[in-house]
A = this chain, B = another copy of it.
């Protein structure tokens, strides 16, 4: 089985998201990678007596995507800050596609924000469906519940409590989301969208 490695991110100092918060957040990310690999290994071990361990194997299978999601989503998350905050190009393919579906980029940011402010830990995610050439905004509980299956991710906004509690307190999700968008490097987002369009 493939062993995944923890990636490193070239992160600038963020505005409104403290270094300490980022450092702890990166620690959680590496925990997902470590635990995904550990579950993979344990699965192989328990499979040696698959009849006796049938229930344990089932439940590990059921949960592995939690760790995978924690790994992959955080990789999307941190990459969005690399290179520093940068506004969207008004005439980029992404800006045009978003404007076509949502009237304006501001409008889609508002909707992602609303979804991020939903109750409970999770992610507010902008997916793109190449088949229908349309975007979908979804809310993911934990790391693996509620995804739009197979769709590539354009923007991934983490709204677990660990993302904001240290900087803004238990009721501070709204302020954190504002900070998230201030630090976003939209050129990373634009490239994601272009890569998806190329494949489609």
Contact = CB atoms under 8 A, between A and B. Distances in A.
Residue of A2, A136, A143, A170 with most chain B CB atoms under a 10 A cut-off? A170
A61 interface: yes
A149 B146 contact: no
A8 interface: no
Contacts of A140: 149
Residue of A25, A145, A160 with most chain B CB atoms under a 10 A cut-off? A145
Contact of A171 (B24, B35, B132): B24
Number of copies: 4
Nearest to A70: B119
Interface in A30-63: 35, 38-39, 42, 45-46, 50, 52-53, 55-63
A1 B171 contact: no
B160 A65 contact: no
Interface of A: 1-2, 4, 24-25, 27-28, 35, 38-39, 42, 45-46, 50, 52-53, 55-69, 72-73, 101, 114-115, 118-121, 129, 132-134, 136-153, 160-162, 165-166, 169-171, 199
B35 A55 contact: yes
B73 A55 contact: no
A132 B4 contact: yes
A55 B68 contact: no
A146 B139 CA distance: 14
A153 B131 CA distance: 14
Given A24-B169, A55-B38, A170-B28, A64 B136 contact: yes
